[in-house]
């Protein structure tokens, strides 16, 4: 190991294959390090990503069996050219009043945000609500959003509301101070008073500290740019969401590991995490009316006119088997945990962003996302110190690249991604840089655009692309190489490694076997 400041940064020898050489996947040294660390209870190089997803990915997404509230029973009439928004809202309200419900859309086209409608967001404010279309793929329920949602602040192009939003009624509140130190990738913390905490609670592990030494340590070895005012003034921010497994005195053990080392030098705190559970969207097509050729930041319409799902404050929830057509932003996950989006298609006109995870979310799984349109920002992360996001077995075209939208995302896994890979598409204002913090992991990423020599994670020709050195394993496809001083690890360059999927391997190691839902999803998903 080579020590850089207070961090140990491993640099493995490059195993490089030319494009003309047939390469056989080798067992990853980084993976061996992880297995040994788990066995010996030492700190691994890799974060443990295996807890991402619905119910920590230990089980598949359920077939919810609540009482059915058909939107047609509340006045919706597909294919008649008349708005169905009020009927849909009434059906959701009836399901919420019941305490649970399937809001069902029979096949057909339902109109929302027509000239006769208000442009208020449709809100879901209770747990156990599922919006569902027909299970038979030949029968499509289409939610067509005719008009765009104008920005709430006209001069701020990014403020267009989403058409549908989940929202909790309560705000997060302070519980107690965290005392003592705790190493990353461990499960137990010490607090000053655990009397208000019990098994099964969800809490937020939080720090906000602008001590210059702490800031420097957080972004090392990147030099601090005076323009990065968010991290300079507001400080390093961590907002990890965790489920309590047990409480013993003032020791709290979480189901999942923490991903940031807790030091006594900072003032770490524990907060409540108000949330909704078992919210689902499935077998639906969300269609916008976006017909223009996209230009980034040209207008509020380009950046967010047809924004569909803003999923805020969710635990153990999902979006599955849905299509998003002619939209500007498909899904934004904010303040979520243990939630999954799987088997999604984004097609039609190019828009602003695909599926984005932000707002301090922890352990969100994006699985089999097929961005056929090639959004300006393909699926990825950003905002609010989001942690332990997994983007797994997903695709985007060569003209697009993954999102890492600044505001302190950390510990993100791009696992078996196929698509373009280049700087300048990550997004984020200069004041909110760097684009990504420590432990960005690219695992068996297949690049489909043109290769680059000495690809930079610190761009020289722009000020918008700055990434704390990532871990790059099994990167292949085009022949791109990386600058050695801008990566934490490069292993097996231009040749995939074993295990093929880090997420699957970590999950199998934790559970002793790979859950059946994983193989079922791989078998059922389009290749």
Q: Residue 170: what pLDDT?
A: 92
| Residue 175 in domain | no
Stretch 199-221: mean pLDDT:
98
| Residue 15 in domain | no
Mean pLDDT of the chain: 94
Write the CA distances from 341 to 94, 97, 323, 391, 462, integer angstroms.
26, 26, 12, 10, 33
- The closest alpha carbon to 32, from 17, 44, 49, 14, belongs to 44
How many separate domains does the chain show?
2
Question: Are residues 171 and 29 in contact, defined by beta-carbon separation less than 8 angstroms?
Answer: no
66-76 burial string, b = 16+ CB within 10 Å, else e? beebebbebeb
Asked if 153 and 195 sit in the same domain, the reply is: no
Asked if 191 and 334 sit in the same domain, the reply is: no
> 310: domain CATH number?
2.160.20.10
Asked if 205 and 155 sit in the same domain, the reply is: no
Q: Residue 524: what pLDDT?
A: 84
The percentage of residues in the chain with a pLDDT greater than 70, rounded to a whole number, is: 95
Stretch 128-156: mean pLDDT:
96
323: which residues sit within 8 A by CB, 6+ positions away?
284, 285, 286, 344, 345, 346, 347
Q: Residue 6: what pLDDT?
A: 34
Q: Residue 423: what pLDDT?
A: 86
Q: Residue 427: what pLDDT?
A: 83
- Chain position carrying tokens 């002793």: 512
- The closest alpha carbon to 422, from 364, 390, 372, 376, belongs to 376
| Residue 3 in domain | no
Residue 124 pLDDT > 70: yes
Whether this model's pTM surpasses 0.75: yes
Q: Residue 14: what pLDDT?
A: 44
pLDDT in tens, 335-385: 999 999 999 999 999 999 999 999 999 999 999 999 999 999 999 998 889
Q: Is cis: bond before 434, omega within 30 of 0? A: yes
| Start-to-end Cα distance in the chain | 40
Reduce the DSSP state of residue 55 to 3 states and report it.
helix
Asked if 299 and 434 sit in the same domain, the reply is: yes
Asked if 361 and 227 sit in the same domain, the reply is: no
Asked if 341 and 306 sit in the same domain, the reply is: yes
| Residue 174 in domain | no
Instruction: Please name every residue paired with 103 in a beta bridge, in sequence order, or none if there are none.
Output: 69, 131
Residue 526 pLDDT > 80: no
Question: Are residues 103 and 131 in contact, defined by beta-carbon separation less than 8 angstroms?
Answer: yes
- Chain position carrying tokens 């801008």: 486
| Residue 222 in domain | yes
Asked if 161 and 112 sit in the same domain, the reply is: yes
Mark which of 269, 300, 324 sits at the end of a domain: 269
Mark which of 223, 250, 269 sits at the end of a domain: 269
Asked if 265 and 320 sit in the same domain, the reply is: no
Cα(468)–Cα(438) distance, rounded to whole angstroms?
A: 6
Q: Residue 3: what pLDDT?
A: 34
Residue 148 pLDDT > 70: yes
Question: Are residues 369 and 354 in contact, defined by beta-carbon separation less than 8 angstroms?
Answer: yes
| Residue 162 in domain | yes
Asked if 256 and 285 sit in the same domain, the reply is: no
pLDDT in tens, 440-472: 999 999 999 999 999 999 998 888 899 999 999
What's the pLDDT band for 9 if we cut at 50, 70, 90?
very low
Can you say how many angstroms the Cα of residue 56 is from the centroid of all Cα atoms in its chain? 14
pLDDT in tens, 477-492: 999 999 999 999 999 9
47: which residues sit within 8 A by CB, 6+ positions away?
184, 185, 259, 388, 411, 413, 439, 441
- Chain position carrying tokens 């499935």: 282
Q: Residue 460: what pLDDT?
A: 87
Q: Residue 128: what pLDDT?
A: 98
Asked if 457 and 441 sit in the same domain, the reply is: yes
| Residue 265 in domain | yes
Residue 18 pLDDT > 90: no
Mark which of 238, 269, 300 sits at the end of a domain: 269
What's the pLDDT band for 13 if we cut at 50, 70, 90?
very low
Stretch 389-414: mean pLDDT:
97
| Residue 190 in domain | yes
Asked if 301 and 397 sit in the same domain, the reply is: yes
What's the pLDDT band for 400 if we cut at 50, 70, 90?
very high
Stretch 232-249: mean pLDDT:
98
Determine the structural domain holding residue 366 and report its residue range. Answer: 54-168+276-524
Stretch 262-287: mean pLDDT:
98
Reduce the DSSP state of residue 322 to 3 states and report it.
strand
Asked if 289 and 426 sit in the same domain, the reply is: yes
Q: Residue 527: what pLDDT?
A: 57
Q: Residue 24: what pLDDT?
A: 67
Residue 10 pLDDT > 50: no
């Amino acid at each position: 190991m080579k020590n850089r400041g207070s961090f140990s940064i491993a640099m493995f020898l490059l195993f490089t294959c030319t494009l003309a050489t047939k390469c056989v996947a080798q067992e990853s040294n980084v993976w061996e390090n992880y297995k040994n660390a788990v066995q010996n209870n030492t700190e691994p190089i890799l974060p443990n990503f295996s807890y991402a997803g619905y119910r920590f990915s230990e089980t598949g997404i359920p077939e919810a069996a609540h009482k059915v509230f058909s939107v047609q029973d509340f006045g919706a009439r597909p294919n008649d050219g008349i708005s169905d928004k009020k009927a849909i809202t009434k059906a959701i309200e009836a399901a919420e009043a019941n305490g649970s419900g399937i809001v069902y859309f029979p096949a057909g086209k339902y109109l929302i945000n027509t000239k006769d409608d208000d442009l208020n967001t449709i809100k879901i404010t209770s747990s156990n609500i599922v919006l569902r279309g027909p299970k038979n793929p030949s029968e499509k329920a289409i939610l067509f959003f005719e008009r765009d949602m104008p920005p709430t602040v006209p001069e701020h192009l990014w403020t267009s509301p989403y058409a549908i939003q989940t929202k909790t009624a309560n705000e997060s509140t302070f519980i107690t101070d965290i005392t003592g130190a705790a190493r990353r990738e461990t499960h137990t913390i010490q607090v000053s008073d655990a009397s208000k905490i019990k098994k099964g609670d969800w809490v937020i592990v939080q720090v906000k500290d602008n001590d210059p030494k702490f800031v420097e340590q957080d972004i090392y070895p990147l030099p601090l740019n005076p323009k990065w005012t968010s991290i300079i003034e507001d400080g390093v921010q961590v907002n990890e969401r965790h489920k309590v497994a047990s409480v013993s005195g003032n020791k709290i053990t979480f189901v999942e590991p923490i991903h940031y080392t807790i030091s006594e030098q900072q003032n770490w705190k524990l907060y409540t995490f108000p949330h909704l559970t078992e919210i689902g969207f499935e077998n639906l097509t969300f269609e916008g009316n976006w017909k223009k050729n996209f230009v980034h930041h040209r207008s509020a319409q380009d950046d967010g006119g047809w924004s569909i799902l803003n999923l805020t404050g969710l635990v153990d929830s999902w979006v599955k088997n849905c299509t998003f057509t002619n939209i500007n932003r498909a899904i934004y996950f904010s303040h979520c945990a243990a939630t999954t989006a799987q088997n999604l298609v984004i097609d039609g006109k190019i828009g602003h962003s695909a599926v984005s995870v932000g707002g301090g979310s922890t352990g969100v799984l994006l699985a089999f996302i097929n961005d056929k349109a090639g959004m300006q920002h393909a699926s990825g992360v950003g905002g609010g110190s989001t942690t332990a996001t997994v983007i797994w077995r997903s695709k985007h075209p060569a003209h697009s690249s993954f999102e890492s939208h600044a505001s302190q995302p950390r510990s993100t896994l791009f696992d078996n991604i196929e698509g373009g890979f280049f700087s300048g598409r990550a997004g984020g204002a200069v004041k909110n840089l760097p684009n990504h913090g420590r432990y960005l992991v690219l695992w068996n990423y297949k690049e489909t655009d043109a290769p680059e020599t000495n690809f930079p994670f610190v761009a020289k020709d722009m000020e918008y692309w700055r990434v704390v050195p990532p871990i790059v394993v099994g990167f292949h496809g085009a022949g791109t190489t990386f600058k050695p001083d801008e990566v934490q690890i490069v292993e097996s360059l231009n040749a995939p490694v074993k295990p093929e999927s880090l997420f699957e391997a970590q999950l199998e190691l934790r559970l002793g076997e790979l859950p059946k839902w994983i193989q079922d999803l791989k078998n059922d998903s389009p290749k």
